[in-house]
Every structure is written in C-alpha cells, then in structure tokens.
Amino acid sequence: MTDLSQVLEIATATHAGMVRSHNEDSIAADAEIGLAVLADGMGGYNAGEVASGIAVAMISTEMKQKLSGGGAEVLNGGAERFLAEHAERANAAIYEAAQSQPQYSGMGTTLVVALWHDNQVAVSHVGDSRLYRLRGETLEQVTRDHSLLQEQIDSGLITREQARYSQNKNLVTRAVGIDPAVDVEAHTYPVQPGDIYLLCSDGLSDMVTDEDIQLTLSSLQANLSLAADQLVQQANDNGGRDNISVILVRVRGNFPAQRAGWLGKLRAWFG
C-alpha cells in the first residue's frame, strides 16, 4: 500500500462543547494509510462513548492491519465494500456488547469513514455525521444525513433554510450498533490536489453555518490545525450545545495506486 503521509495533511480537534459534561465523540486519523474515522455516540451514562469508541478503535486498527499488511489487493473487492464490511463488523461488536451488558443497552453511534486511495476517496456513513469537501472556493456536503430532517427536506416538506429552525434535529434514522444489521451507505469520489476534506459531528454542523465553515476553511487553509481549532471555537461561541469533533484532511498532490504488475512484484521481492 502506498504510504500517503507525504500527500495527506491531517488536523483534528474534538471538544465536549459548552453544555455536555462529557465527550461522546470519538475520532481517529492515519495519514499513512489515508484513513479518517469519526463517530458520535449515543446512549446513557458513558454508553455513548463506549459505542463510538468501539467503532473508531475497531475500524482504524483492523483497516490499518489489512492495508499496511496486504497492500492494494485488499481493496480489489472495491473500497466501498471494504468500508461497509468494517462498519458492519463494528455494528456487530457494539450490538453484542449492548446485549450482554445491561448498562450499555441501546447504545449506538453515528459513523463517517473516509479512505483515500488511488486518487479517490471512498466514504461510508451511517447517521448524521458528515463529510464536506472544499474544492477551490466551493464547499460541498458530500454525505447526506440519515435523519428525519433530511427525509423531510428530500420529500419537499421543508426547505434547507427552514430546516435550521427545526426542533427535530436530533433524530437519526440509522445508527451503528442498535440492530443486528446496519445499512451502510458508501460511495467513491475522485480527488483533486488541493481538496480539503472535513469530517464532523453534528455538534459542528448544527452550530456553525455552511457559509462560516466555508469561510474558515478557505481563509485558514494554510494552517490546518488552526482551522480545526477555529471551527470548534465557533461552534462553542455559538452555544456549543453538543460535542464537537472535526477532522481536516488536505490533499497535497496526486496519489495513484502502484499497479501490482509482475515488475512491481519483482521489485517488492528484491525491495
């Protein structure tokens, strides 16, 4: 597997916010294998942290093992399938833990996972944690929430602008770990050098407008960790009603996969 740490620059920030006593979000990012994972847990006491923690730890360790060990062939079955399988494994683990331990009963988590490979990014998500992309000056929301609000927008019941005033923001229609099976949405998108990707929990997207996210990413892109901190700070300045997590990934250049022809295999043999 190509080492992407020279191509991807990553900055992260996570904060409990101004209202919640603890942080139920979990994040992990690994530039080498080109992976970013973000989960927003739900459940009483510390069950939310447990659910998001299981999802992020399982997905990031297992993927790292397979990707750094197996090489690009791991993705031969399709990166989307690869991502979905890992989300399903996390789902099973969380569901099992919730079944066997009463204090974790009903726990679950949202999930967004992005994997950069071969000049593309594969994205899987469940729930209302999001992936955005800044390309040039344009910010685009790549994922579509699995939430009641999104369904209402899709059905034309309310507009995106009206959605800002909804009281139903906190209802997701899918989550990892609440049922024996989970429906994971996964897609692949072409990547361009200069793209900046943002994975975030709803603690950011509910508190900071897309315009302000766009302004922050485009004006502070020279300093990615400052941009991450600024996003969290703006969410807190606006009330910080939920945990806030962000992962920023900047793509510095092209990263085509090394084709594993006979020459490549020979090189690897002698390498």
Partner 1 sequence: MAKLILSLDGSVIREVPLDKERITIGRKPQNDIQIENLAVSGEHACIVTILHDSFLEDLGSTNGTVVNGSPVKKHILQHNDVIEIGKYRLKYMGDAPAAGQTPADDFEKTMVLRSPAAVRAATAPQLSGDTQGGGAPFVAPAAAVTPVAAAPAMSAAAAAPAPAVSVPAAKAAEAQPLAAIQILNGPNAGTERELTKNLTTLGKPGVQVAVITRRPQGYFITHVEGASFPTVNGNTLDAQAHPLKDHDVIELTGVKIEFFIKSK
Q: How far is the CB of 256 from partner 1 (least distance, A)?
A: 27
Looking only at the bridges linking them, the beta strands covering 196-200 and 244-251 are: antiparallel
Evaluate whether 219 touches 167 at the Cβ level (below 8 Å).
Answer: no
User: Of 39 and 142, which CB lies nearer to partner 1 in the complex structure?
Assistant: 39
Place of tokens 């909804």: 166
Q: And the tokens for 47?
A: 């069950």
Upper half-sphere CA count for residue 148 (Cβ side, 13 Å):
7
Q: And the tokens for 12?
A: 């992260």
Q: How far is the CB of 250 from partner 1 (least distance, A)?
A: 13
Dist CA 181 CA 218 (whole Å): 39
Dist CA 256 CA 4 (whole Å): 10
How big is the site for partner 1, counted in residues (CB under 8 A)?
Answer: 61
The amino acid present at 114, given as its one-letter code, is A
Query: Is 193 an interacting residue with respect to partner 1 (CB under 8 A)?
Result: no
Evaluate whether 30 touches 60 at the Cβ level (below 8 Å).
Answer: yes
Query: Is 198 an interacting residue with respect to partner 1 (CB under 8 A)?
Result: no
Query: Is 164 an interacting residue with respect to partner 1 (CB under 8 A)?
Result: yes
Q: How far is the CB of 32 from partner 1 (least distance, A)?
A: 25
Among 33, 35, 36, 98, binds partner 1 (CB under 8 A): 98
Dist CA 127 CA 146 (whole Å): 5
Query: Is 212 an interacting residue with respect to partner 1 (CB under 8 A)?
Result: yes
Query: Is 148 an interacting residue with respect to partner 1 (CB under 8 A)?
Result: yes
CA-based max dimension of the chain: 62
User: Of 121 and 176, which CB lies nearer to partner 1 in the complex structure?
Assistant: 176
Q: How far is the CB of 42 from partner 1 (least distance, A)?
A: 4
Query: Is 157 an interacting residue with respect to partner 1 (CB under 8 A)?
Result: yes
Task: Name the one range near partner 1 by CB under 8 A: 4-12, 78-86, 230-238, 247-255.
Answer: 230-238
Among 219, 253, 254, 267, binds partner 1 (CB under 8 A): 219
Q: And the tokens for 41?
A: 């847990």
Residues in 55-94 that interact with partner 1 by CB under 8 A: none
Q: Which three-class secondary structure state does DSSP give residue 93?
A: helix
Query: Is 32 an interacting residue with respect to partner 1 (CB under 8 A)?
Result: no
Dist CA 52 CA 42 (whole Å): 8
The amino acid present at 81, given as its one-letter code, is R
Backbone angles phi, psi at 144, to 5 degrees: -115, 125
Among 84, 169, 200, 255, binds partner 1 (CB under 8 A): 169
Query: Is 208 an interacting residue with respect to partner 1 (CB under 8 A)?
Result: yes
Query: Is 125 an interacting residue with respect to partner 1 (CB under 8 A)?
Result: no
Binding site for partner 1 (CB under 8 A): 19-20, 40, 42-45, 47-48, 95, 98-99, 102, 105-108, 110, 127-128, 148, 152, 157-158, 162, 164-175, 178-180, 202, 206-209, 212, 215-216, 219-220, 222-223, 226, 230, 233-234, 237-239, 241-242
